[in-house]
C-alpha cells in the first residue's frame, strides 16, 4: 500500500510539473492583443488550472497556480508591484474556487441526466463570476496602479480623473465616467477570456481525455493519479 501511495504521489508531482510548465508557456508566449486596450492580452493559461484540478485535485491545482505565477514573475514581471502577476493569480484562484464549488458542492459535473447542460450552466456561472471579480478589482486598484506606476486606488479622485480620460480616449467615447469605462473595457474582455479558457477545458478534458480514459482505463492512473483505480477500490471494499 505504501509503495502504491508513493507511486501515485510521484505521478501527481510529475503532472503538476508538466501542467505548470505548459501554463507558463501559454502565459508567456500564446496570447492575442485585445483591440480596445493594447496592454490587455487574451491568453488561456488558466486552462491548465482547471485540468490540474480534475487530474490532481484542489491542492495540486493550487500548487500549479503558485508555480505558474512565481515563474512568470521571475521571467517577465508586469507592472509595478508585479500587479500583472497578482491579477493573473487572483483570476486563476477564482477559476479554481468556482470549479471546486460546482464539482464538490453543487455537483453539477456528477449529474446523470442532462450532463452537458449542467456543465454548460456551470461554465456560464464561472465565467460571469470571474469576469465580475476581475472587473471589480480593476476598478478598485489594478488599473489605477498599472497605468500610474504607483499603488493607487479608485478613491484618489485626481488619479481617477486622469485614468478616465485615458480610457475615454482608448474607447473613443468622451462621455464615459470611470465606472462605465472600466466596465465596458474589462467585463467583455474577461468574459471573452473566460469563454475561451472554459471552452478549451471542455474540449481538452471532458471530451478528449475523458474518451481516452474511457477507451483505455489503464492510462487513467497516469492522467489522473488522484483517482482510485479499480484494484484500489476492491482493496478498500475488502477491508
Res. 39 pLDDT band, cuts 50 70 90: confident
Using one digit for the tens of pLDDT, what is the confidence trace for 78-126? Answer: 999 999 999 999 999 999 999 999 999 999 988 888 888 999 999 999 9
The reply to whether 124 falls in a domain is yes
Q: Domain tally for the chain?
A: 1
Instruction: Give the structural domain span for 108.
Output: 2-229
The pLDDT, as a whole number, for residue 87 is 96
The per-residue pLDDT of the chain, averaged, comes to 88
Q: Residue 1: what pLDDT?
A: 57
* Better-scored residue on pLDDT, 235 or 205: 205
Report how far residue 123's alpha carbon sits from residue 50's, in angstroms, rounded to the nearest whole number. Answer: 11
| Euclidean distance between CA atoms 14 and 52, whole angstroms | 11
CATH label of the domain that carries residue 92: 1.10.1760.20
Residue 236 belongs to some domain of the structure: no
CB neighbour list of residue 48: distance below 8 Å, 6 or more residues apart: 19, 20, 22, 23, 26, 64, 68
Phi-psi region of 37 (alpha: psi -120 to 50; beta: other; left: phi over 0): beta
217, pLDDT greater than 80: no
**If pLDDT is split at 50, 70 and 90, which confidence band does 223 have?**
low
Q: Percent of the chain at pLDDT above 90?
A: 72
pLDDT of 210: 67
**pLDDT tens, 143-199?**
999 999 999 999 999 999 999 999 999 899 999 999 999 999 999 999 999 999 999
Instruction: List, as one string, the DSSP characters of the chain.
Output: -HHHHHHHHHHHHHHHHHHHHHHHHHHHHSEEEETTEEEEEEE-TTHHHHHHHHHHHHHHHHHHHHHHHHHHHHHS--SGGGHHHHHHHHHHHHHHHHHHIIIIIS-TTS-SSSHHHHHHHHHHHHHHHHHHHHHHHIIIIIHHHHHHSS---TT-HHHHHHHHHHHHHHHT-TT--HHHHHHHHHHHHHHHHHHHHHHHHHHIIIIIIHHHHHH-GGGHHHH-TTSPPHHHHHHHHH-
Query: Could you tell me if residue 239 is inside a domain?
Result: no
Average pLDDT estimate for 31-60: 92
In a domain, 147, yes or no: yes
Which three cell numbers, joined as nine digits, stand for 96? 479554481
What is the rounded CA–CA span in Å between residue 239 and residue 224? Answer: 24
Pick 214 or 73 by higher pLDDT.
73
Q: What is the phi/psi pair of residue 151, to 5°?
A: -75, 115
Residue 171 placed within a domain: yes
Q: Residue 83 domain-assigned?
A: yes
What is the predicted pLDDT for the residue at 8?
84
Supply the pLDDT for residue 204: 84
Taking the model in full, what pTM does it have? 0.89
Asked whether residue 237 is assigned to any structural domain, the reply reads: no
The pLDDT of residue 239 is above 60: no
Spatial contact of 87 and 139, defined as CB atoms under 8 Å apart: no
Assess whether pLDDT exceeds 80 at residue 232. Answer: no
Q: 106 in a domain, yes or no?
A: yes
Q: Which of 25-29, 35-39, 90-94, 141-145 has the lowest mean pLDDT?
A: 35-39
User: Comparing 125 with 215, which gets the higher pLDDT?
Assistant: 125
Cα–Cα distance for residue pair 89/112, rounded to 1 Å: 33
Q: Mean of the pLDDT values across residues 118-144?
A: 97
Amino acid at each position: 500500500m505504501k509503495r502504491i501511495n508513493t507511486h501515485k504521489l510521484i505521478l501527481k508531482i510529475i503532472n503538476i510539473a508538466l501542467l505548470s510548465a505548459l501554463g507558463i508557456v501559454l502565459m508567456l508566449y500564446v496570447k492575442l492583443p485585445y483591440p480596445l486596450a493594447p496592454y490587455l492580452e487574451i491568453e488561456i493559461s488558466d486552462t491548465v488550472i482547471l485540468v490540474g484540478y480534475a487530474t490532481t485535485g484542489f491542492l495540486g491545482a493550487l500548487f500549479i497556480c503558485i508555480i505558474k505565477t512565481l515563474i512568470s514573475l521571475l521571467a517577465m514581471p508586469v507592472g509595478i508591484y508585479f500587479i500583472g502577476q497578482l491579477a493573473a493569480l487572483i483570476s486563476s484562484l477564482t477559476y479554481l474556487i468556482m470549479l471546486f464549488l460546482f464539482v464538490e458542492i453543487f455537483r453539477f459535473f456528477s449529474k446523470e441526466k442532462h450532463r452537458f447542460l449542467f456543465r454548460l450552466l456551470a461554465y456560464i456561472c464561472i465565467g460571469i463570476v470571474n469576469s465580475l471579480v476581475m472587473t471589480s478589482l480593476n476598478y478598485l486598484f489594478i488599473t489605477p496602479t498599472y497605468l500610474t506606476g504607483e499603488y493607487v486606488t479608485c478613491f484618489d479622485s485626481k488619479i481617477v480623473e486622469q485614468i478616465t480620460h485615458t480610457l475615454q480616449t482608448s474607447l473613443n467615447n468622451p462621455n464615459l465616467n470611470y465606472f462605465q469605462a472600466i466596465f465596458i473595457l474589462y467585463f467583455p474582455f474577461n468574459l471573452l477570456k473566460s469563454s475561451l479558457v472554459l471552452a478549451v477545458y471542455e474540449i481538452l478534458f471532458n471530451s478528449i481525455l475523458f474518451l481516452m480514459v474511457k477507451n483505455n482505463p489503464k492510462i487513467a492512473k497516469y492522467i489522473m493519479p488522484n483517482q482510485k483505480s479499480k484494484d484500489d477500490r476492491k482493496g478498500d471494499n475488502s477491508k
